[in-house]
């Protein structure tokens, strides 16, 4: 931002006025002009370093303080500021080198110790950090060098100790340290955030959200100029920048943590809103954690953008340690196994630092599965065996704690059991997928049967057992016994259930002659869709459409094309609301099957049915101009012309084939 011209003799007053008003960017512009006239000006360099620090431009601040240390080595506060700016810029080795001479200066001894501890903490060297924090606490207790009787100094040391306890997994003790520090220092958003983080790590989400709510209320009340929530409401507001004021409100951290909690609770919409509620900043101003969370929470709707952000973060320093593991998992989820293997090979030094043995073994097995499925199955089996032993031990601990009426031990054992189960289920599903891809559904059922001891109450397990029973085509009654509880659990909000689950349940009812149950379920879905359409007229729902498409497909598979195709055509009415990439996928498969059988003269259709098909395809041409026929992979270049990847193009092609095969003239 360019500052306005300053009258002669007013330069100092204007600079201090800008700084006092928090207009640091304008002050920087003015001070840079001053430096062009006198590049060794102590006043200009000092204020410029301060402004850059306030704007969180730490590398630029470090350059200013480096010059000041060289010009005025006797002024030790500049050396401390230089070390702090280097630490904030992530230049840890340089920060340690610059601050070490201050350890011998009594007036700076404790601050130098604290900065060294912070650097070692950031580097992950917890023993070194703890040793320095304890040394500082001992100095305060003894009234040693630099230890004035200032309660805030002691409180700062307690905060550092709390951070160490947090990293050691002692969340309750850490939270109590932060609480006691807040009693001395008064309400502090950063400490409230620390306590929220402890509650989050202990999976006490309600308590964490309470702390977060306090931070947000405090931020809105004290700093309305930060425009909290404006972006979510669709109001176009300018960036508030990355100021030290924003950092001290802890609003960015609080909203990121709120997003993480909502994401864990599978409230994806609420998680996305938490990210847009935070004070507005330009994309280039976003911190690494916000960038990471944006990528993760919008991955379903914006995968290309999400991958780009995670790849960018991996090249930055610092970045959230979860970035590496999440990028690898998402590559595997989207079936980019070669990219996952490349990232692992190129970042071998991060493998042991950022991936747990469990996650590394899991990813290694998933990637191996593409070339050697048998070897991958054995790797997964080894992981499953290790976790199974853990689960049995924890089951025993839960039982013992219940017998001894030990609530604390019971709570700890249950949490550990849930964590172990969350690790076991993905391994189990990866094993099952190997045989699912081979269409060996009997083997998949056997794998699930082995895990019934631990997983019988797990939602994901029950859903996949239902799917594998359904796919065997002779166990529809057993499939119903698994699908029904899932549907009944959400019966009052039936549209929360996946459309394919409802469709499979309806098909199972039909194939076991429970037509009344199928019709009742479809009526329930229809009423729910009508209500949703009334409440939200612009929102499209596809549940009933997909149920009818699956039923229509079933009849087509059985050879009853007259009824099956008729059902598919009716399911997509009205076309402006029901025609989509997914629904077109189901419809076109049946039409292709129909055309194949007609071309082989295996079936004959009545003229009225052919006429109905042609009319349907004309309607799809009309309404499918802007609907992609296939969702392209986010990281692959499109090999299809954009005009061909539309429902309109494919519908026209099918109509041409229909004319040709049926012998009708257009």
Of 231, 248, 247, the C-alpha closest to 239 is 231
Report the distance separating Cα 116 and Cα 657, nearest Å. 75
* DSSP state at residue 223: -
Give residue 636's pLDDT: 65
Give residue 147's pLDDT: 43
Give residue 22's pLDDT: 81
Distance of CA 128 to the CA centre of its chain: 32
Region of residue 7 (left: phi > 0; alpha: psi -120 to 50; beta: else): beta
Average of per-residue pLDDT values in the chain: 89
Write out the two tokens for 150.
Answer: 């200032």
pTM (two decimals): 0.82
Residues of the chain with pLDDT under 50: 1, 145-148
Report the distance separating Cα 597 and Cα 591, nearest Å. 10
- Is the Cβ–Cβ distance between 100 and 113 less than 8 Å? no
Report the distance separating Cα 121 and Cα 116, nearest Å. 9
Report the distance separating Cα 64 and Cα 48, nearest Å. 7
Give residue 146's pLDDT: 44
Distance of CA 636 to the CA centre of its chain: 22
Q: Where are the alpha helices (DSSP H) in 89-225?
A: 92-99, 109-122, 126-142, 151-167, 171-185, 189-201, 205-222
Q: How many CA atoms lie within 13 A of 198 on its CB side?
A: 24
Report the distance separating Cα 40 and Cα 152, nearest Å. 36
Write out the two tokens for 572.
Answer: 């997509």
Of 287, 301, 283, the C-alpha closest to 256 is 287
Return the number of other C-beta atoms located less than 10 Å from residue 379's C-beta.
21
- Report the first-to-last Cα separation within the chain, whole angstroms: 66
Return the number of other C-beta atoms located less than 10 Å from residue 397's C-beta.
17
Helix, strand or coil, per DSSP, at residue 636: coil
Give residue 156's pLDDT: 83
């Amino acid at each position: 931002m360019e500052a306005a011209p300053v009258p002669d003799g007013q330069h100092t007053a204007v600079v201090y006025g800008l700084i006092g008003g928090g207009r640091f960017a304008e002050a920087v512009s003015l001070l840079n002009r001053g430096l062009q006239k006198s590049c060794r000006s102590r006043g200009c360099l000092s204020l410029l370093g301060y402004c850059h620090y306030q704007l969180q431009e730490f590398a630029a601040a470090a350059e200013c303080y480096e010059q000041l240390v060289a010009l005025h080595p006797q002024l030790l506060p500049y050396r401390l500021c230089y070390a702090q700016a280097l630490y904030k810029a992530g230049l840890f080795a340089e920060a340690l080198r610059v601050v070490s001479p201050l350890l011998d200066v009594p007036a700076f001894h404790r601050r130098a110790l604290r900065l060294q501890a912070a650097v070692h903490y950031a580097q992950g060297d917890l023993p070194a950090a703890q040793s320095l924090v304890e040394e500082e606490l001992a100095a305060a207790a003894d009234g040693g060098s630099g230890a004035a009787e200032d309660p805030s100094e002691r409180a700062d040391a307690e905060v550092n100790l709390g951070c160490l306890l947090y990293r050691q997994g002692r969340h309750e003790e850490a939270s109590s340290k932060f609480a006691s520090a807040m009693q001395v220092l008064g309400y502090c958003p950063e400490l409230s955030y620390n306590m929220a983080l402890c509650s989050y790590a202990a999976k006490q989400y309600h308590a964490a959200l309470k702390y977060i709510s306090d931070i947000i209320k405090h931020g809105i009340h004290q700093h309305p100029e930060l425009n909290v929530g404006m972006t979510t409401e669709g109001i176009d507001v300018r960036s508030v920048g990355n100021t030290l004021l924003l950092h001290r409100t802890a609003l960015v951290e609080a909203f990121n943590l709120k997003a993480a909690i909502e994401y864990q609770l599978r409230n994806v919409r609420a998680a996305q809103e938490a990210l847009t509620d935070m004070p507005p900043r330009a994309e280039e101003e976003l911190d690494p954690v916000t960038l990471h969370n944006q990528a993760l929470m919008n991955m379903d709707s914006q995968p290309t953008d999400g991958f780009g952000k995670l790849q960018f973060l991996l090249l930055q320093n610092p970045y959230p340690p979860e970035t590496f593991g999440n990028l690898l998992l998402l590559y595997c989820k989207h079936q980019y196994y070669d990219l996952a293997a490349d990232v692992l090979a190129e970042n071998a030094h991060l493998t042991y630092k950022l991936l747990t043995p469990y996650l590394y073994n899991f990813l290694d097995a998933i990637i191996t599965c593409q070339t050697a499925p048998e070897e991958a199955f054995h790797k997964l089996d080894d992981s499953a065996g290790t976790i199974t032993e853990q689960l049995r031990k924890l089951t025993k601990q839960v039982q013992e704690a219940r017998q001894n009426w030990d609530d604390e031990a019971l709570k700890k054992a249950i949490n550990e059991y849930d964590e172990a189960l969350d690790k076991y289920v993905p391994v189990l599903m990866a094993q099952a997928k190997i045989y699912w891809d081979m269409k060996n559904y009997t083997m998949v059922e056997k794998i699930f049967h082995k895990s019934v001891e631990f997983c019988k109450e797990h939602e994901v397990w029950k859903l996949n057992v239902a799917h594998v029973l359904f796919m065997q085509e002779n166990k529809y009654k057993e499939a119903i016994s698994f699908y029904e509880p899932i549907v009944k659990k959400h019966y009052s909000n039936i549209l929360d259930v996946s459309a394919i689950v409802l469709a499979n349940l309806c098909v199972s009812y039909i194939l076991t002659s429970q037509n009344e149950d199928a019709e009742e379920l479809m009526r329930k879905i229809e009423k729910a869709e009508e209500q949703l359409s009334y409440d939200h007229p612009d929102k499209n729902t596809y549940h009933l459409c997909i149920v009818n498409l699956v039923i229509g497909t079933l009849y087509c598979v059985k050879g009853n094309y007259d009824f099956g195709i008729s059902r598919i055509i009716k399911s997509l009415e009205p076309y402006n609301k029901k025609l989509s990439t997914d629904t077109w996928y189901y419809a076109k498969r049946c039409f292709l099957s129909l055309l194949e059988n007609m071309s082989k003269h295996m079936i004959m259709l009545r003229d009225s049915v052919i006429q109905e098909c042609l009319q349907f395809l004309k309607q799809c041409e009309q309404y499918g101009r802007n609907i992609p026929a296939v969702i392209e992979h986010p990281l692959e270049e499109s090999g299809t012309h954009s005009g061909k990847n539309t429902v309109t193009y494919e519908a026209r092609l099918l109509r041409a084939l229909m004319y040709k095969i049926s012998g009708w003239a257009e």
